[in-house]
Amino acid sequence: MSTVRKTLDLSKYGLPEPIVFDVPEQAMGNDGQMYGSEYYPRNKNEVQQYSRFLMEAANTQLGTDYGDMPPALINYMIQFTPTEAVLAAKKITKKQKALAKQRQADPIGFDSAVGAYKAKKGD
């Protein structure tokens, strides 16, 4: 089966460069019908793949965590990302920001607490 090269321009959502990827020319949709590449993503597996392409491209091009991405891009990505994953990413981002604030307030104390935790965990 041949593949088709797709170019996705999300500059209006905040991604500076287009995403380029290859997809099968024909694939079966969730309804059992065959669809051409113009209907990509056509099934659950391709939706997951598309979500991965989006996340990897956003991380690479923007160099930020999910929570720091442009809101328009996040809103676009949500339609291809399971809600649980979005909530988990937001929760992790909040924890990272809280830890960053703690470290900024007391860098020496924070580093020694992390060192003590790692030493205790290694026992």
Q: Are 14 and 3 in contact (CB under 8 A)?
A: no
Range of the domain at 112: 83-123
Has residue 118 got a pLDDT over 70? yes
CA dihedral sign, ordered 64, 15, 70, 77: negative
User: Which long-range contacts link 12-16 to residues 24+ away (Cβ below 8 Å)?
Assistant: 12/72, 13/70, 13/72, 13/73, 13/76, 14/62, 14/69, 14/70, 14/72, 14/73, 15/57, 15/58, 15/61, 15/62, 15/73, 16/61, 16/62
Residues 9 and 56 grouped into a single domain = yes
Residues 28 and 55 grouped into a single domain = yes
Residues 87 and 43 grouped into a single domain = no
Residues 98 and 64 grouped into a single domain = no
What pTM did the predictor assign?
0.58
Q: What is the pLDDT of residues 33-92, one digit of tens each?
A: 999 999 989 998 898 888 888 888 888 888 877 778 888 888 888 888 766 666 777 788
Residues 97 and 72 grouped into a single domain = no
The radius of gyration of the chain's CA atoms, rounded to the nearest angstrom, is: 20
Residues 61 and 112 grouped into a single domain = no
